Amino acid sequence: MSAGLEALTGPHLWRGRAGCSAQSVRVTGFDALDRALGGGWPWGAVVEIFVERYGCGELSLLMPALAALSAADEAEPGFFVFVAPPWIPYPPALIRRGVDVGRILVVERPAAEDETLWATEQAVRSGASAAVLAWLGSANDTELRRLQLSAEERGCGLMLFRPERALRQRSPAALRLKVSVERNATRVDVVKRRGGAPQSLRLDLFSYASQTARSASRRGSMPAGRCGASSFPQRAAVDRSALAWVGAAGRRSGRCT
């Protein structure tokens, strides 16, 4: 091959999908999604997630990535910032999915929408955050671009949850996903991906959540569970978590040998 051709295939030449490998990604924890996104969540870039109605698994999509970040051993672990979440991120559920709730910083929904943008930008730019999840209503192109630049600079994951109507808007986001439910499974439409084509896939997020809970519990310490089960008779469905709580307490006080 001539030297001229070599020079042509240098880093400046755009070569379709192969050209986008420079972006840093984090595995999503779902093989199908990883394939569709070209490796995982783009990190250090804006990801927009459009949800028609909350409760279709939009947060579960991010849980494996947050769990992987939680598991990493760092001297100064960064925050997971939740900016203006619509409801309370529920700690027991987060813990079951392996997320370190001690790293979560919740910023309640401010009265004004531009405060949400401000808080999001602060969280990204501070360098104190490992991931920022923000529930943004309206944001224009310029504001999103600014967030995009901050995220790039800090290498921080930035997920914006936006109402579906914002889909029509132009956006500099590296990835835009639409999440909905279809026949008991979560449907993820990749609306836009840098260096990739739009596509759709279905994920079984609801049973995935319980699977991870089970696999996590297998890794957990057994004596607590056994202790709990033996010290209390199991009565119908009266909150089994109670048993484990008692078990844990027993272990602490040394009653359980």
Partner 1 sequence: MALQAVEAVGAPEDPRPTVVVEPSGGRLRVVALNGAARGRGIRRGLDLGAAFAFSGALRVLERSHRAERSLLEALAVVGQRFTPSVSLEPPDGLLLEVHASLALFGGLERLRASLGEALATLAPGFDMAVAATPLAALWLARAGGEETAGDTLAARLGRLPLVVTRWPDPVLELLEGIGVTTIGGCLRLPRDGFARRVGKVYLDALDKALGKRADPRAPFDPPTHLDFEVELVDESTSLPVFVDAVTRMTEQLARELVIRHAQVGRLELAFEHRRAEPTVHRLELLERTGNGLRLLELLCDKLERIELPAPATALRLVAGPLEPAVGEAGRLFKGEGGTDGGARARLVERLRGRLGESAVHGLSPAADHRPERAWAGTEVPGVLRRRGAGRPPLADAAQDPATAPGAEGARTAADACTADTAGHGADGCGPWAERPLWLSPVPEPLRSVAGEPQLGGRLRMIEGPERIESGWWDGGDVGRDYFVAVGPSGERLWVFRDRADGRWYLHGRFG
- Nearer residue to partner 1 within complex by CB, 23 or 196: 23
- Nearer residue to partner 1 within complex by CB, 126 or 169: 126
- Nearer residue to partner 1 within complex by CB, 8 or 242: 242
Least distance in angstroms from the C-beta of 82 to partner 1: 9
Least distance in angstroms from the C-beta of 236 to partner 1: 7
What is the distance between the alpha carbons of residues 176 and 50, in angstroms, rounded to a whole number? 8
Least distance in angstroms from the C-beta of 16 to partner 1: 31
- Nearer residue to partner 1 within complex by CB, 38 or 154: 154
- Nearer residue to partner 1 within complex by CB, 9 or 217: 217
Own/partner pairs, 88-95, CB within 8 angstroms, 24+ separation:
89/59, 92/241, 94/63
Tell me the pairing of strands 175-182 and 157-163: unpaired
* DSSP letter assigned to residue 168: G
What is the distance between the alpha carbons of residues 249 and 144, in angstroms, rounded to a whole number? 48
Q: Which of 47, 104, 98, 53 is nearest to 79 (CA)?
A: 104
Least distance in angstroms from the C-beta of 226 to partner 1: 6
Least distance in angstroms from the C-beta of 164 to partner 1: 11
- Nearer residue to partner 1 within complex by CB, 194 or 251: 251
What is the distance between the alpha carbons of residues 18 and 77, in angstroms, rounded to a whole number? 33
Least distance in angstroms from the C-beta of 219 to partner 1: 8
Q: At 8, give phi and psi (nearest 5°).
A: -65, -35
DSSP secondary structure, 176-219, as one string: EEEEEEETTEEEEEEEEETTB--EEEEE-HHHHHHHHHHHHHHH
Q: Are 29 and 127 in contact (CB under 8 A)?
A: no
